Amino acid sequence: MVPPGIIIVMSELSLTEIDHLATLARIRLTDEEKERLGRELGKIVDFYATIQAASSNGQVIPEQAGRVKPIGDLRPDELHSGPSGLTQDELKKLAPEVRDNLVVVPAVFE
C-alpha cells in the first residue's frame, strides 16, 4: 500500500532517449510509435525496480555474471561440411542480391 500523501510518478522515457535507443538498434520509428514506446518502456523499466529489491535483500550475491558450468566440449578447429551437405550455392540463394558469386551490399559510403 502507498502511504497517504505519496504520489507514485510513473516513469516515461523521453523522446530523446527513445531516439537514441532506436538509432543504436537501427529501428526507424514513427512519431506515434515513439510516443507510445516512451510510455510503455517507462512502465516496464519501473517494473524492473523489483529486482533491485531482490538483489539487495541481504543475501550474498555471487558476483560473476556467467557462472554457467561448461557443458559439451569444443570441437577441433577444422573445416567440415554443414548438415545435409549444405553448399555455398544453396546459402547464397537466400541473399536478396548476388552478383559475380558475391552477396551484394548497398554502398556504405555515399
Partner 1 sequence: MTFDDYLARIKQLDQRIGSFLSVEESAPTSPVTGGALSDLTIAVKDNILVKDRPATAGSKILEDFIAPYDATVIGKLKAAGAKIIGKTNLDEFGMGGSTENSAWQITRNPWDLARVPGGSSGGSAAAVAAEFCDASLGSDTGGSIRQPAAFCGLTGLKPSYGAVSRFGLIALASSLDVIGPIAKDAMTVERIFQVIAGYDKFDQTTVDYQHQAVEFSPQRIKIGLPKELWRLKIDPSITAAVRELVDFFVKRGAEVKEVNLPNFEYGLATYYVILPAEAMANLARYDGIRFPASQRSSGKLLETYLDTRAMFGPEVKRRILLGTYVLSTGHYDQYYQTAVKVKNMIGDDFRRAFGQVDVLITPTTPTRPFKIGQISDPLDMYQSDLMTVAVNLARLPALTLPCGLEDNLPIGGQLIAGEGGDYLLLAMAKYYQSQTNHHLQRPDIIVKNNG
Residues in 18-77 at the binding interface with partner 1, rule: CB under 8 A? 18, 21-22, 24-29, 33, 37, 40-41, 43-45, 47-48, 50-55, 59, 61-63, 65-68, 71-72, 74-75
Q: Between 5 and 24, whose beta carbon lies closer to partner 1?
A: 24
Pick the binder of partner 1 from 16, 93, 99, 100 (CB under 8 A).
93
Q: What are phi and psi of 106, to 5 degrees?
A: -60, 155
Q: How far is the CB of 4 from partner 1 (least distance, A)?
A: 24
Query: Is 9 one of the binding residues for partner 1 (CB under 8 A)?
Result: no
- According to DSSP, the β-strands at 102-103 and 98-99 are antiparallel
Residues binding partner 1: number (CB under 8 A): 54
Q: What are residue 102's DSSP bridge partners? A: 99
4 Ramachandran zone, left/alpha/beta (phi>0; psi -120 to 50): beta
C-alpha cell at 44: 516496464
CA distance 104 to 91: 14
Helix (H, G, I), strand (E, B) or coil at 43: helix
Binding region for partner 1 (CB under 8 A): 13, 18, 21-22, 24-29, 33, 37, 40-41, 43-45, 47-48, 50-55, 59, 61-63, 65-68, 71-72, 74-75, 82-84, 86, 90-91, 93-97, 103, 105-108, 110
